[in-house]
Chain A
């Protein structure tokens, strides 16, 4: 092949790569623009302060928003201690053998399991077997199972990135293992762990399918007062509105999406901030 031909091919390919990248960026902007254009007219204080309603102009996301906050709070309370403790054990205490490798593979598979299967699990175990019914407990426990492997994997990575010299130094000064772990390793790994936790919780915040499975109702005209109350959540409410044929409800769905995306972006920005400002070891 002639050199000019090869050069032309190279230029074409470069533009193709560039084009694909800008297409992806463009898609994100189209998506955001579309959502904002459809939803912005529904977005006012009343929208935040009203309960869902059959009349679009009086419908709002108050119960969904409060439900989501309850849900994420409970999920955090359940999943954070469990997953960090598991990560510490797997990194600092567990023997390195064949079983541990199988455990790691198992963890990766759990993290990649379709979320709807967690929904089936929650429905059978929490809703039916433990008889928690369609309560916040059921939703939060299901979401906790879903985020557990994600946080464990992130926390394991953060703990592993703490240099061994830190541990050795502490041992040399006569510290016991728990002292090394809690006073040296954990503080060093904390920014990484927190980033993982925030990202996992923001994933939980957008999850819809498992909540539908455990019966997050979408018409709730009251606020939950405790974890045993029935609930709805923001993504479930969005799904409910988007699934209706009327245009006005699609607008409401877009309004709900704007609120959800703002919450998620805030959480993610927090994660990025922590990653940049606090990370000690890389």
Chain B
């Protein structure tokens, strides 16, 4: 009798825990929605989305988010341009060429690289990468997009290489054996057989890495500067969406001012962008996972 009672009680307690865990999502959406709604009562949506001047803290105020989006895109494009080719080469090496011993030596190194806190990467960008860039291009500003993009690239590299490695490893060996039997070289097997077969999951890896780069905060706050602007150069100071939120919260913000609300509007945009990418990325990974197993 007692045992059955415990069974019900345990069930109930566990259910409550799940509900608490899942409330997070509801609260995030409700909160971002509510505060953004207040913001958009004062600033029209189209002005926010398509305005080209972001000057919310100084008079005359202007709330066009595009400069922050452009800054974020620079980091995203720069980091993926570094991490995708390197990540693919590393994944190919680990999955196709490396001996078992080499593999088990390299993988932990990549895990350590992935586990280093982002503030450390920010420090590295500021005190190592930036001076390096400035000796190559002397007119680079102290805070610049290139330096931050490079370290964000290093940051997402382990993610891309390990997801692609998983994708390659999941392919059946018969694919490789068939190609080798036809006389293909290792290069041809890797690039013309393995890579196209794993394309969906490689794509998913890229999307998840992009989403990670969009949300990256500390490295860009420390290294990329605080100058929201619409420009194309990588050697000048920019500001990303995440860095703006940090900048505002470092000052003491009054809870009822428009400055406080801008954080949530920018946060909502960030949330929507990363959510869409994460859903697409995770969908591809689970879908192809089922296909193979």
Contact = CB atoms under 8 A, between A and B. Distances in A.
Nearest to B285: A108
Contacts of B246: 116, 209, 212-213
A264 B263 CA distance: 31
Interface in B251-293: 255, 263-264, 267, 270-271, 274-275, 278-279, 282-283
Contacts of A52: none
Contacts of B93: 17-18, 20-21
B173 interface: no
Interface stretch (A6-14, A59-67, A69-77, A157-165): A6-14
Contact of B120 (A16, A105, A114, A260): A260
Interface in A244-267: 250, 253-254, 257, 260-261, 264-265
A28 interface: yes
Interface centre among A90, A116, A148, A238 (most CB of B within 10 A): A116
A7 B185 contact: yes
B123 A257 contact: yes
Interface in B208-238: 208, 211-212, 214-218, 221-222
Given A13-B186, A86-B17, A176-B3, A112 B117 contact: no
A35 B282 CA distance: 35
Interface in A192-221: 199, 202-203, 205-209, 212-213, 215
Interface string B1-28: 0011011001101110110111011011
Interface stretch (A43-51, A118-126, A222-230): A118-126
B123 A179 contact: no
B185 A31 contact: no
Interface in B90-137: 90, 92-94, 96-98, 106, 108-113, 115-120, 122-124, 126-128
A278 interface: no
Q: Is the interface of A mostly helix, strand, loop or mixed?
A: helix
B31 interface: yes
A64 to B, nearest CB: 12
A112 B18 contact: no
A21 B102 CA distance: 11
B18 A105 contact: no
B245 interface: yes
A88 B14 contact: yes
A16 B18 contact: no
B271 A117 contact: yes
Contacts of B187: 6, 9-10, 12-14
A238 B123 contact: yes
A247 B32 CA distance: 39
A35 B267 contact: no
Contact of A176 (B4, B32, B161): B4
A103 to B, nearest CB: 7
Contact of B279 (A25, A105, A124, A215): A105
Given A17-B89, A235-B117, A250 B274 contact: no
Given A109-B275, A109-B278, A178-B10, A116 B217 contact: yes
Contacts of A166: none
A34 interface: yes
Nearest to A111: B278
A81 B86 CA distance: 40
Given A13-B186, A206-B117, A176 B7 contact: yes
B86 A23 contact: yes
A239 B218 contact: yes
Nearest to B154: A27
B190 interface: yes
A34 B123 CA distance: 10
A40 interface: no
Given A14-B186, A235-B117, A38 B218 contact: no
A106 interface: yes
B166 interface: no
Nearest to B120: A257
Contacts of B275: 109, 113
Given A28-B109, A34-B128, A114-B217, A213 B282 contact: no
A30 B20 CA distance: 43
A115 B270 CA distance: 11
A24 B117 contact: no
- The 10 lowest CB-CB distance pairs between A and B, nearest first, are A114-B215, A206-B117, A20-B89, A85-B17, A17-B93, A89-B14, A10-B185, A209-B217, A13-B187, A10-B187
Interface of A: 6-7, 9-10, 12-14, 16-21, 23-25, 27-28, 30-31, 34-35, 38, 81-83, 85-86, 88-90, 93-94, 103, 105-106, 108-110, 112-117, 119-121, 123-125, 128, 145, 148-149, 152, 176-179, 181-182, 199, 202-203, 205-209, 212-213, 215, 235, 238-239, 242-243, 250, 253-254, 257, 260-261, 264-265, 268, 272
